[in-house]
Amino acid sequence: MMKPAFQPQVLSASQIDHDTPVVPAYATTPYAASLPLFGDDLWDLRVLRVRRNQRLDSLVMDFRSFTDSTRRLVAKEYLYARLNVKHPQYCPLAITGMKVEYYLLRRFFAYLDTVWDGVRLADVTQAILDAYLLACRLGEKGQIITASTVQERILIPIKLAAYHTALSTDALTLEPWKGKSARYIVGRSRTAENITPRIPEAVLGPLIQWALFYVQIAAKDILAARVELAGYQRASSSSDTLTSRSARLETWIAARRATGRGLPASTPRYHVHHKGPDSALHGVNWALVGRMAGVGSITDHCLRPILEKAAETMGLEPGGMDTPISCHPTTQRPWRDRFSPNTVLHETSMLVAACYIVCAYLSGMRESEIMQLQRGCHFTETTADGLITRHKLRGMTFKDHGRRGVPATWVVITPVAEAIAVLEQLTDQDCLFWPKRMGPSAVSYGAVVYSARFLKAFRDHVNQIAVTGAVPLAAIPDVEGVPWSFNSLQFRRTLAWHIANQPFGIVAGKIQYQHVSVVTFEGYAGQSESGFRSEIEAERQLQQMEDIVDRYEDYRNGVRAAGPGAAHVQRLFAEVQQELGDFSGHIVDRGRVRAMLLHMGRTLYPGLLNDCFFDPAIARCLKEVKGDKPLIAQCAPSRCPNSYISERHLPVWEQAIATAKEHLNQRRLPVLQRTVIEQQITDFSRVIAPLKGEKHACEPNDRAEASRSDGSSAKWNRVSNGRATDREQPGKRGRSQSSDGQSS
């Protein structure tokens, strides 16, 4: 589509009436009376919020920050046009994106006002725009500015020019950067790769383990402490006499002393310092004592001496509440000290954060989808044969489905269902992630875990527990010397990558990626509209290209290779190396290497025993069936022409040989079985001999032998008379290889 030529506008009076609704599409809805008008200096659109993960203040635009009336009108006209005016180059601005555009516009105007003495848009030159581009790249106070951020910032003058006909009092009279795109100007290449960083495995493992610990073990104690705290009598009855209150306090102290417990201690942050000489009450949480004893506040001269006398002999107990603390099954130690009212509140927040982490990572749901979960969202369904019961969640998904989204269903694993059950006990609200007593005035973002600071607080908190050794879980480590910066987008990206590339690995403790993969695929490929499966496939394709470049680098660095397909693959690598001139002393861009290897990368299926450069025409696993992918369970690494075995696979083969030799040491091993095992050792040793720089007797022509019409070798057929069939081949023996994700 041809881009329309830029035509400077002749400016006129304001084109938009002050009584015009900011969002005319909602003028006939019940929200109309609550929506702002164009003439208002405060555009409050919070009534239109649907996604609970959206900050409430992101729907409020305060134009009073533009002190210049012309700037203020331009800002209003520009944002109104972005919301409501169709443009051939730009999609209409979503309400959810208004605040970002507002901030970017305010930044550009502030630059013109401070650096260029308030120059009007009509007087802006290309030199000024070039200076703004440089200022965007430099950042402030040495901060690193990414290319995507620079692109967002310079898009504002480009869009101001594109919408110049909507501006009545001041508009650009030039086409910025002669019509070049912002992406081109900042030198940012187009890529399909997701730029959201993956959580490193060293960070992810402990994080998920701690979150599961909170959901499955700590939650019981935290919920019990909340019940205990709610049951305390907040104040004594007005009819209580001083004598009855004193008696209750003395009775409580006596019972406490009889069990060998001290008085509840306050944390240093909440110490109460009394005037006069040092008091025994320093460090005593006497407010908690009053609530536990049912005497209200201990401030009068009758109750205080009773408590001071007890404090002199009983000592202090951390926390002080009665809820017992569970012992970890491994250490048999309580995972923390007893609770106090303040630690109950803090641990509740940590439990909510843990539930969020479990839901975000083990379900693959987006943050906006998690925040919409409501009481009763979890249910179970049993398959028609009655063999499998699946946990499912009902909710809403929004991406590509408009502002209000569409209903969706997710299939999840048991820990996610456990997290939902915990959340339903934590709040009596319908919205599971909107905690009680957290209103918009206190928490502008509307949910306890929206901000990354809650994830950071969880990390710091569990690291403190890890130091005590009461819970045998590792602390969450730093990455390159600094704590990992969490955000909610990272969980879905990381899960997609792990399912695509490590389907048989361990998530945390006993949870296997294969289980998560099967369940999430069933959910997302079924009713759900969330599109997780396409993200997993994209991650798999990206990793395929990284894998093929790694194999090429191995070849370039002289790493040995073997297997029936080694000669063919190395010949292709040699052609790429020659084409690129990729030799010592010559630096070749990794992007060029990826481009040259693209056709090979699409066929690579890495594995533990070998790599498969899949060609269906000669694939041994497809001798009896047709398919467009290798059959993992039918892999024969030492026989298939697609098999490429390198030094990175050597440890697994050596372990297989060692295991076979251990079997030979069995005393009553049948002769036939001993013959088969010895033949296996011989075959395995022959396969890895080139990797160790050794020659092996009777070494066959791998590619010729692998290509026999019956798919078998002469040597193996000699053994098959002793009932040693293909089941005993290294890729199939006991199905062990398929459990490791090996491909043919």
Spell out the domain ranges in the chain: 24-186, 232-318, 535-740
Residues forming a β-bridge with 380? 391
Least confident of 227-241, 664-678, 680-694, 723-737: 723-737
265 — phi, psi (to 5°)? -95, 145
Is 490 a residue whose pLDDT tops 80?
yes
Side-chain half-sphere of 69: how many Cα atoms within 13 Å? 3
Mean pLDDT along residues 69-92? 92
pLDDT tens per residue, range 621-672 = 888 888 878 886 678 888 888 888 988 888 888 988 998 898 888 878 888 8
Is 76 a residue whose pLDDT tops 80?
yes
Least confident of 4-8, 28-32, 525-529, 731-735: 731-735
Cβ neighbours of 276 (radius 10 Å): 5
CA distances in angstroms from 676 to 281, 663, 683, listed in the order given? 80, 11, 10
Helix (H, G, I), strand (E, B) or coil at 140: coil
Tell me the C-alpha distance between 27 and 38, whole Å: 13
Cβ neighbours of 522 (radius 10 Å): 16
Tell me the C-alpha distance between 225 and 344, whole Å: 7
CA distances in angstroms from 235 to 292, 294, 454, 716, listed in the order given? 10, 7, 33, 86
- Pairing outcome for strands 263-265 and 316-318: parallel
Tell me the C-alpha distance between 334 and 337, whole Å: 7
> For position 702, what pLDDT does the model report?
41
The pLDDT-based confidence of 203 (bands split at 50, 70, 90) is very high
Residues forming a β-bridge with 43? 61
Inter-residue contact 436 to 348 (CB < 8 Å): no
Q: For residue 395, which of 489, 532, 215, 529 has the smallest C-alpha distance?
A: 529
> For position 442, what pLDDT does the model report?
37
The pLDDT-based confidence of 543 (bands split at 50, 70, 90) is low
Pair of tokens at residue 500: 């695509």
Query: Of how many residues is the chain composed?
Result: 744
Least confident of 103-112, 281-290, 492-501, 566-575: 492-501
Residues 6 or more apart whose CB falls under 8 angstroms from that of 480 comprise none
Residues 6 or more apart whose CB falls under 8 angstroms from that of 293 comprise 248, 249, 251, 252, 253
Is 143 a residue whose pLDDT tops 90?
no
Mean pLDDT along residues 396-423? 84
Helix (H, G, I), strand (E, B) or coil at 37: strand
Cβ neighbours of 12 (radius 10 Å): 8
Q: For residue 449, which of 460, 457, 437 has the smallest C-alpha distance?
A: 457
Cα-to-chain-centroid distance, residue 495: 7
> For position 434, what pLDDT does the model report?
64
Residues forming a β-bridge with 506? 512
Residue 218: DSSP 8-state: I
